[in-house]
Chains A and B, each alone.
Chain A
Amino acid sequence: MSALGTVGQDVAAPPPPRRRGRKVVPYVLLLPGLLWLVLFFIVPMIFLFSQSLQQGSLDQGYTMTWHWQTYVDAFQLYWPQFLRSFIYALIATALALLIGYPVAYTIAFKSGRWKNFLLVLVIAPFFTSFLLRTLSWQTILSSNGRVYSFFVKTHLLNLLQAGPYPLVTGNQLLNTPLAVITGLTYNFMPFMVLPLFASLDRIDIRLLEAGADLYGRPWTAFRKVTWPLSLPGVVAGTLLTFIPAAGDYINSKLLGNPNTTMIGQVIDGQFLRVTDYPTAAALSFTLMAAILVLVSIYVWRAGTEELV
């Protein structure tokens, strides 16, 4: 096998021999892009961290005082929003996995010649504005709508109102935790379905047939063969859904109420309305750190390194 055969795979292969003594070429190709990412991704992160430890005001300027207390104060004040963001994102991710899996499975194994068409349907939501689609949920869940009257007639509304942390507050579907979670799940579905599809589509169909012969029951075959083989897609999909969902505040703002505020909304408000930059920066940095820690643990537990 030639050196080109291993191109693109992240294995420690010897350098391709065809580029003689031109070690600088990759660095020249990378330089402009890397420069952009360092200047406008890494450097801003350092500024954000530095900002969180400064004191002062926007008008009079800030001075660096290593004021770690900002983190303590910010967290004491806003931990409910943090917790809520992670819980909502977790529920939305679990739901997206639950309902996204049948979609990915159908496209990969049951769609035949409709495969490409169905894939286009999965990304079709992206073809129009995120905000407009989220606003559409105001129409769907409105108290004059059919969905609402269905929930009332079937007493599902009463069921959702029950419990210590009801998903529905008041006699409406809109402006409730349920609406926010519905919106979050909806908005990040393609990020779940596409990686799931990619890993299911790679599976050799003969393995599934062998599994079906071996285990008899479809459910056992699924649990022992299909599911383990699709795990890379599950890990990628859950991460791609969870991360944006945890930071999102469009859904909680457009579909929720003041009691569904998520942490992104607080950061946005602190930066753009209150202009308390140190607190906002501390919250933002904490969100970043919390997600990094959670994701690292998750990837480590799942044992997948395919992502990077």
Chain B
Amino acid sequence: MATVTETRPAAPARPAPRPPRKGPLRWVREHIVQIVAFFVFVYMLLPNLLVVVFSFNQPKGKYNYEWEHFSLNAWLHPCAPPGMCSAVKLSLEIGILATILATVLGTLMAFALARYRFAGRAATNLLIFMPMATPEVVMGSSLLTLFVAMSNIISLGATTIFIAHVMFCVSFVVVTVKARIAGLDPRLEQAAMDLYATERQTFMRITLPLVAPGIAAGALLAFSLSFDDFIITNFNSSATSQTFPLFVWGAAQKGTPPQMNVVGTAMFLVSFIIVGIAQLIAWRRRKAKA
């Protein structure tokens, strides 16, 4: 082995390797990427932390931007700011309905795209990609011109928000589910067919359960996009259809009650619990397999 290293032609031409440094400086040099990543994580997570911390604040004036002192007031009276809880309720309703429809439409499309070759496939892919590559302000404003032109049929409100949300959520569901279908091991379905399962049985007992995590992920993504959307919603809402993001936007102009942060913190907790459960299921499955 030693001869191999010696006959390598480039080796002697290279400058001698840097003398190894000792102490903390060397550790920093070796871990510089991780250290940078750590600070970037702080940058990415600091606002989340502040949302949680400021839900326990008792602000002096109308705005909840300066820390005054600890209080459970906002948590004990979450619906105190007028209009906030009804806004949360509307956001939840639209979010759930839009998620259901977008997930159904998106899953059907994902199966068509992943499992069939057909004329117009590239065009379909492009059409699905377009809403993800269009700025929200363009989609929101174009829908507004449509709804205003159709004002004798449909008026701005919860329905138009729902239509818009389904539109921009569908593409994300398609992409998520399609990736899951593409990642399936084809041998599993072949095995089922070899065991004389019908196409329907194979689909219901093998394909669908395997794709289900992708569908669930797509649905969660759709819900979080819908629940959190401001720009498109702002264009397609009316004064009586205030969602939670619209309420926050209004509050930023008039005064920000800490109860908004309670809602933000609750969202954070619920999402973490859902992700935690998903991880737990995945972990148990892996353990069961081993």
Residues of chain A whose beta carbon lies under 8 Å from any beta carbon of chain B: 2, 4-5, 7-10, 13-16, 18-19, 23, 25-27, 29-30, 32-34, 36-38, 40-45, 47-48, 51, 58, 99-100, 102-103, 105-107, 110, 116, 118, 120-122, 124-140, 142, 144, 186, 189-190, 216, 239, 243-244, 246-250, 254, 263-264, 267-268, 271-272, 277, 280-281, 284-285, 287-288, 291, 295, 307-308
Contact = CB atoms under 8 A, between A and B. Distances in A.
A47 to B, nearest CB: 5
Contacts of A186: 43-44, 47
B122 to A, nearest CB: 8
Contacts of B46: 136, 140
A44 B143 contact: yes
B245 A129 contact: yes
Contacts of A136: 46-48, 50-51, 54
A129 B263 contact: yes
Contacts of B112: 25-27, 29-30
Nearest to B130: A41
A47 B145 CA distance: 6
A126 B131 contact: no
Nearest to B260: A132
B226 to A, nearest CB: 12
B45 A125 contact: yes
Nearest to A137: B47
Contacts, number: 274
Contacts of B142: 44-45, 47-48, 284
User: What's the dominant secondary structure at chain A's contact region?
Assistant: helix
Given A103-B37, A135-B256, A288-B134, 10 more contacts: A18-B193, A37-B127, A45-B142, A122-B44, A128-B48, A142-B65, A243-B134, A244-B135, A281-B145, A287-B137
B182 A40 contact: no
A34 B135 contact: no
B115 to A, nearest CB: 6
Contact of B48 (A124, A246, A247): A124
Interface string B183-209: 110100110010000010000000000
Given A29-B112, A271-B235, A287-B137, A5 B186 contact: yes
B93 interface: no
13 contacts: A29-B109, A33-B106, A40-B163, A47-B146, A100-B40, A125-B45, A127-B224, A135-B252, A136-B51, A248-B137, A250-B231, A287-B137, A308-B129
Interface in B148-193: 148-149, 163-164, 166-167, 170-171, 174, 178-179, 181-184, 186, 189-190, 193
B248 interface: yes
A263 B231 CA distance: 13
Contacts of A249: 137, 231
Contacts of A118: 41
Interface in B83-142: 104-106, 108-109, 111-118, 122, 124-131, 133-139, 141-142
Interface of B: 14, 33-34, 36-37, 40-41, 43-48, 50-51, 54, 65-66, 104-106, 108-109, 111-118, 122, 124-131, 133-139, 141-146, 148-149, 163-164, 166-167, 170-171, 174, 178-179, 181-184, 186, 189-190, 193, 199, 224, 228, 230-231, 234-235, 244-245, 248-249, 252, 256, 260-261, 263-265, 267-268, 271-272, 275, 279
A33 B261 CA distance: 36
Contacts of A107: 37
A15 B121 CA distance: 12
B190 A2 contact: yes
Interface centre among B44, B129, B178, B179 (most CB of A within 10 A): B44
Contact of A7 (B45, B148, B181): B181
B252 A131 contact: yes
Interface centre among B40, B122, B186 (most CB of A within 10 A): B40
A237 B186 CA distance: 30
Contacts of A271: 141, 144, 235
A127 B48 contact: yes
A254 B146 contact: no
Nearest to A22: B116
B124 A30 contact: yes
A284 B143 CA distance: 12
Nearest to A247: B135
A299 B62 CA distance: 47
Contacts of B33: 102, 105-106, 110
Contacts of B167: 36-37, 40-41
Contact of B127 (A7, A9, A34, A132): A34
Contacts of B279: 116, 120
A37 B137 contact: no
Nearest to A9: B182
A239 B133 contact: yes
Given A23-B118, A25-B116, A128 B51 contact: yes
B252 A287 contact: no
Contact of A130 (B105, B116, B133, B245): B245
Closest 10 CB pairs of A and B: A247-B135, A8-B182, A4-B186, A44-B142, A127-B271, A136-B47, A29-B112, A26-B116, A48-B142, A33-B105
